[in-house]
Structures are given as structure tokens and as C-alpha cells.
């Protein structure tokens, strides 16, 4: 794994500041967490724009999220996202300094080590590649699939390590799906090579 040291160069400064503020607050409360979404994707591919902050936290962090909302004078909005295999994921959103912060509460079906060994970029923990790919495959949206292809094309993630992680997590179907995205990434890379 090679991190993109310019991962956040396309992320507006106010969003970076809010991400740092929230991360420091969670660290002080002893809450394991890692940035996901566009900011994390930029750590393993080309930097990319984003309009919000996505943070994965354990389900027990809900009371701390309520404390954040109270401190900023905001409200919490709740959505339930449906992931692959019918897994429900609670998404709590709090607007902090006009920036939407989406907290994804880890359901019990997620791997226990999802937040372990999260590398840091500019002081922010970001999901390790295998965990980020797991989250993208779980969401199964078109943009998530495109993100996986871009990360594979960048060469900053090791596909075999991600496949091993998925297999250890009992996600054989996801591992198989990742193989097809790896073939697509390789095909796209070969189209760009000069002849």
C-alpha cells in the first residue's frame, strides 16, 4: 500500500478542517474511527472532490455523536442504508460548520477489525484499503464500483491483500466481485498505455 500524500488536495479547506475537528473530538473520547468516502478514496487513487465527511464508527458511538450535535447546535438526521446481503447500516448526519458529517455506525455483521490499523493522512485516520473496498462493495452503488476500479488502477492497493481480507471476513461473493473489478481496471490501464 502506498498512500497518496496529496490525498486531500481537492477537498475544500473547510471540509478538511471539520474532518480534523471531528477526528480530534472522537480521539479524546476514545472512539475508534476512520474516514471513508471520497477523502479515503483519494488516499489510494487520485485526489478527488467531496462535499461531506464520511466517518465509520462503532455502533456504541451514537451517544458521542449526540454530544457533537448538541455542541454545534445541530440536529441528527438518521437514514438506514441497505447494504449487500440485506445488512442494514445506520447513517447519522450532523451538520458541523455547514459541512455534512455522515457517521456510519458499524453493524455487528461487519468485520471486527474494520477500524484496526487505519493509516493516517494529514493526521486523519482513513480506512485501510481492504476495509474501504469492503465498504464500497457493501454499498454497491455505481460510484462505489468506479472508486474501486480507480483505486485498483492506481496501483496503491494490493488486490490480493484485499481478497484475503474479504475471504477471512466470510465475504466470498465480494472477493469474486473484486476479481471482476480488477480485470476491468487492468483493461482500462492497458487502453491508456502507449503502443
pLDDT at 46: 87
Whether 195 has a pLDDT exceeding 80, the answer reads no
Note every long-range contact of 19-24, with CB atoms under 8 Å and residues 24 or more positions apart, other chains counting: 19/53, 19/55, 19/101, 19/124, 20/122, 20/123, 20/124, 21/96, 21/97, 22/53, 22/55, 22/68, 22/96, 22/101, 23/55, 23/123, 23/124, 23/125
Whether 111 has a pLDDT exceeding 60, the answer reads yes
CATH architecture of 13-192: 2-Layer Sandwich (3.30)
pTM: 0.91
pLDDT at 189: 83
Cell numbers placing 164: 484475503
Bridge pairing between strands 53-58 and 99-106 = parallel
**Percent of all residues in the chain with a pLDDT value above 90, rounded to a whole number:** 82
pLDDT at 194: 60
Whether 102 has a pLDDT exceeding 90, the answer reads yes
Question: Residue 7: which pLDDT band, with cuts at 50, 70 and 90?
Answer: confident
Amino acid at each position: 500500500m502506498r498512500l497518496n500524500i496529496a490525498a486531500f488536495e481537492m477537498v475544500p479547506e473547510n471540509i478538511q478542517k471539520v474532518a480534523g475537528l471531528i477526528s480530534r473530538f472522537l480521539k479524546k473520547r476514545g472512539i475508534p474511527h476512520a474516514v471513508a468516502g471520497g477523502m479515503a478514496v483519494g488516499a489510494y487513487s487520485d485526489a478527488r472532490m467531496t462535499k461531506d465527511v464520511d466517518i465509520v464508527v462503532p455502533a456504541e458511538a451514537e451517544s458521542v455523536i449526540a454530544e457533537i450535535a448538541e455542541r454545534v447546535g445541530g440536529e441528527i438526521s438518521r437514514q438506514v442504508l441497505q447494504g449487500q446481503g440485506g445488512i442494514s447500516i445506520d447513517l447519522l448526519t450532523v451538520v458541523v460548520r455547514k459541512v455534512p458529517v455522515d457517521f456510519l455506525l458499524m453493524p455487528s455483521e461487519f468485520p471486527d477489525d474494520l477500524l484496526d490499523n487505519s493509516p493516517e493522512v494529514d493526521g486523519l485516520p482513513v480506512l485501510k484499503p481492504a476495509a474501504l473496498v469492503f465498504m464500497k462493495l457493501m454499498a454497491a452503488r455505481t460510484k462505489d464500483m468506479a472508486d474501486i476500479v480507480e483505486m485498483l488502477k492506481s496501483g496503491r492497493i494490493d488486490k490480493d491483500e484485499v481478497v484475503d481480507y474479504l475471504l477471512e471476513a466470510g465475504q466470498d461473493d465480494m472477493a469474486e466481485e473484486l476479481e471482476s473489478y480488477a480485470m476491468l481496471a487492468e483493461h482500462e490501464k492497458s487502453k491508456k498505455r502507449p503502443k
